[in-house]
Chains A and B, each alone.
Chain A
Amino acid sequence: MKKKEDALDTDGLTRRSFLSKLGATGIAATAAPLLAGVVDAQVETSPSPAKPTGAHVVPVTLRVNGQEHRLQLEPRVTLLDALRENLHLFGTKKGCDHGQCGACTVHVNGRRVNSCLSFAIMHEGDEVTTIEGLSNGEELHPVQAAFLEHDGFQCGYCTSGQMMSAAALLKEPCGEDDDSVRECMSGNICRCGAYPNIVAAVQQARKRA
């Protein structure tokens, strides 16, 4: 995912790396160290990204999208932060960081969960699937194809969470009508208000799946 982003950039400067440099040189000196953006920046500029420091770093093995990763993490690192900052799987988004928006939705053992409300250390032995692992190689998941076809997004920030929710929904008990889809998708907030297209996309994916 990261490589792709870099490759797209002709100046060798991506949005992410630009913000990182800005953070390291500009913001970090003045802002409180706990500001999310600054933490992101330190992560990106560090030669060993996002390795939390402190007395309690422990080995944690995570299995994500079929691949095993051995990490050194503090117990307080959430699954969301481990995915983004340690494994560089930036497809999973941090929205509210409090389980209220659904942007961080991933699958754990096939079930959708809010990765922001769980510690990574609790998921040793679990099979975690992120948006990066949803497609079958180059072949899009039916949900991804349907979101493209129905324009199920505007800014795209909530989209990976929406699609992970929708993909899980295909295997859950959920009524057939649009109202049921709205209820089953209510854990994913879209502030652009792309809901009508999201519902249409989910319905199409359900028909084809």
Chain B
Amino acid sequence: MQTFHYKKSTNVEGAVASGGPHASFIAGGTTLVDLMKLNVMRPAMLVDINALPLDKIERTPDGGLRIGAMVRNSDLAHDATVEKEFPVLSQALLSGASPQLRNMATTGGNLLQRTRCYYFRDTAYACNKRAPGSGCAAMDGYNRIHAILGTSEHCIATHPSDMAVAMMALEAVVHIRGAKGERAVPLNEFYRLPGNTPQIENVLEPGDLITHVTIPALPEGARSHYLKRRDRASYEFALASAAVITQVQGRNLQHVRVALGGVGTMPWRSKEAEQALDGKPANEESFREAAEVALRGAKPLHDNAFKVELAKRTLVRALKVATQAA
């Protein structure tokens, strides 16, 4: 591992002032330390933000939640309000990683997880995300775990987070402090598609610090569910996952929110599926129709064509579970 300078920040202003193009903030470290050992990430300076007072989960005036960037994944998953009112978020968090990693990983860090693409993680291979312009070894390589939505000819890497998929459906807003002050970005506008610049994954500028995430209250009686499909029963990244939120009014669906994981180059909100479900009866036919719509733009590759059907069935199943609970 490359050596680096280390600095501990105790307040947000100090942390932001210490940030910059050659510095990385370190919180739980579960992604960063891993990738530093692989020489994939090589910050010259680490700014330790573990002492920042950003570890609270608070109720917002509108009945939503304000989640500090340093709230650990395990604490967020087991928060009584999250379990009761936003079960999709708790389920997504608990389906990710292991108890040890969830004790370390933070809300802000989870949003910034890097892809599990084998070629990104191995400096022996070409990777436009790690070394822009070098090519994409996954395109003609073994691409079973790769994305089918939002891909470009330069990158097909998936975003690995479960939490972010639930937060997409929950219409979370990311609050950022940077050199130019504070700003709030809806999560749906936070990530960037790879396009020609897969090395740029989100709207953060060098030195920007995520301070907290807000989630609006769900409408009365809304149900939510997160379903994850993977190669083993636990401690594995998603091949396909679905976060769904819906209200069942009479027999019909309203306030439908759908996001998919494991299939997109970013946590994938499907407004198309939401529109297809809005006002429709809560039955298999509607669910299947929405799943077809959600995956209409899928571009399967050599090894991951199975994901198209897997994602559809995952979404149908998640909708079934969510609406059966109603």
Contact = CB atoms under 8 A, between A and B. Distances in A.
Contacts, number: 88
Contact of B37 (A98, A112, A184): A98
B99 A184 contact: yes
A113 B103 contact: yes
Contacts of B26: 119, 122
B126 to A, nearest CB: 22
Nearest to B83: A173
A74 B100 contact: no
A109 B203 CA distance: 35
A56 B5 CA distance: 7
B78 interface: yes
Contact of A121 (B6, B36, B234): B6
Contact of A117 (B2, B3, B30, B233): B30
Given A117-B33, A118-B33, A75 B3 contact: yes
A183 interface: yes
Interface string A95-126: 00111001001000001111011110110000
B3 A165 contact: no
Of listed B5, B26, B101, residue having the most chain A CB within 10 A: B101
A196 B284 CA distance: 39
A4 B35 CA distance: 37
B99 A173 contact: no
Contacts of A78: 33
Contact of B100 (A56, A119, A165, A182): A165
A112 B98 CA distance: 10
A119 B99 CA distance: 19
A105 B2 CA distance: 24
B29 interface: yes
Of listed A113, A117, A121, A173, residue having the most chain B CB within 10 A: A117
A97 B235 contact: no
B4 interface: yes
A183 B8 CA distance: 35
Contacts of B101: 99, 114, 117, 187
Interface residues of B, number: 30
Given A117-B29, A187-B98, A97 B37 contact: yes
B46 A114 contact: no
B205 interface: no
Contacts of B8: 122
Nearest to B50: A122
Contacts of A112: 99-100, 103
B249 to A, nearest CB: 33
A102 B6 contact: no
Interface residues of A, number: 34
Given A112-B99, A113-B104, A165-B99, A122 B29 contact: yes
Contacts of B184: none
B299 to A, nearest CB: 30
A169 interface: yes
A13 interface: no
B48 interface: yes
Contacts of B29: 117-119, 122
A97 B3 CA distance: 18
A16 interface: no
Contact of A99 (B2, B34, B48): B34
Contacts of B4: 56, 75-76
A75 B100 contact: no
B1 interface: yes
A66 interface: no
A102 B235 CA distance: 11
A54 B78 CA distance: 43
A58 interface: yes
Contacts of A183: 233-234
A97 B33 CA distance: 10
Contacts of B5: 56, 75
24 contacts: A75-B4, A76-B1, A76-B4, A76-B36, A98-B34, A99-B33, A99-B100, A111-B74, A111-B103, A112-B100, A117-B30, A118-B29, A118-B33, A122-B26, A122-B48, A165-B100, A172-B99, A173-B78, A182-B233, A183-B233, A186-B98, A186-B99, A187-B98, A187-B235
